[in-house]
Amino acid sequence: MNIGHAAKATGISTKMIRYYESIGLISPAHRSQAGYRVYTDDDIHALRFINSARDLGFSVEQMRDLLDLWGDRSRASADVKALALAHAAMLEEKARSLQDMSRTLRHLADNCHGDDRPDCPIIDEFAVAPPPRELRKRQPRFGVAAQVYSPAR
């Protein structure tokens, strides 16, 4: 199976498959005589694993940990569970934070006429509110896959 076929079979683009190989997330594929990458069923299995983990918001580094555990069947269960639960907690925290943002925005919008009058608290409050000396700790500017916990290695 060549890389295009593997991409269709796993939902990961050929670009990303090569990238994952280049960063060592997956082991280098075997090559045909012409130099084409050739994928076995086991490779496909691993790529599907990666695709699922990616859909669940795991970062590449987290996937690396999961794949290590996968390879090390003897100690998989407990560690994987801990990793998954920690990740779930982080996802929930992100979700809460997004909801807070949304609530703030809707609150501002509620006090905005929405007609042609120029005064609108969305604009005014934004500008007026002083940045109080970092009580709100600067969030890592967000991307779901940010590493927030250091996983059990």
Partner DNA sequence: GCTTGACCTTACCATCATTGGAAGGTGCAA
Partner DNA sequence: TTGCACCTTCCAATGATGGTAAGGTCAAGC
Q: Kindly provide the residue ranges of all beta strands, DSSP E only, lying in 1-153, ordered along the sequence.
A: 30-31, 37-38
Closest CA to 91 of 140, 148, 151, 150: 148
The entry of DNA, a second copy, none near residue 105 (CB within 5 to 8 angstroms by kind) is a second copy
Radius of gyration of the chain (CA): 23
17, 6 Cβ separation under 8 angstroms: yes
Q: Give the amino acid at 142.
A: F
Does position 127 interact with a second copy (CB under 8 A)? The reply is yes
Does position 13 interact with DNA (CB under 7 A)? The reply is yes
Among 4, 95, 149, 152, binds a second copy (CB under 8 A): 95
Among 27, 73, 137, 153, binds a second copy (CB under 8 A): 73
The entry of DNA, a second copy, none near residue 148 (CB within 5 to 8 angstroms by kind) is none
CB nearer a second copy, residue 33 or residue 153:
153
Does position 87 interact with DNA (CB under 7 A)? The reply is no
Minimum Å gap between C-beta 133 and a second copy is: 9
Part in contact with a second copy (CB under 8 A); list of ranges 24-32, 33-41, 135-143 = 135-143
Enumerate residues 103-142 that contact DNA by CB under 7 A: 138, 141
With left for phi above 0 and alpha for psi between -120 and 50, is residue 142 left, alpha or beta?
Answer: left
56, 20 Cβ separation under 8 angstroms: no
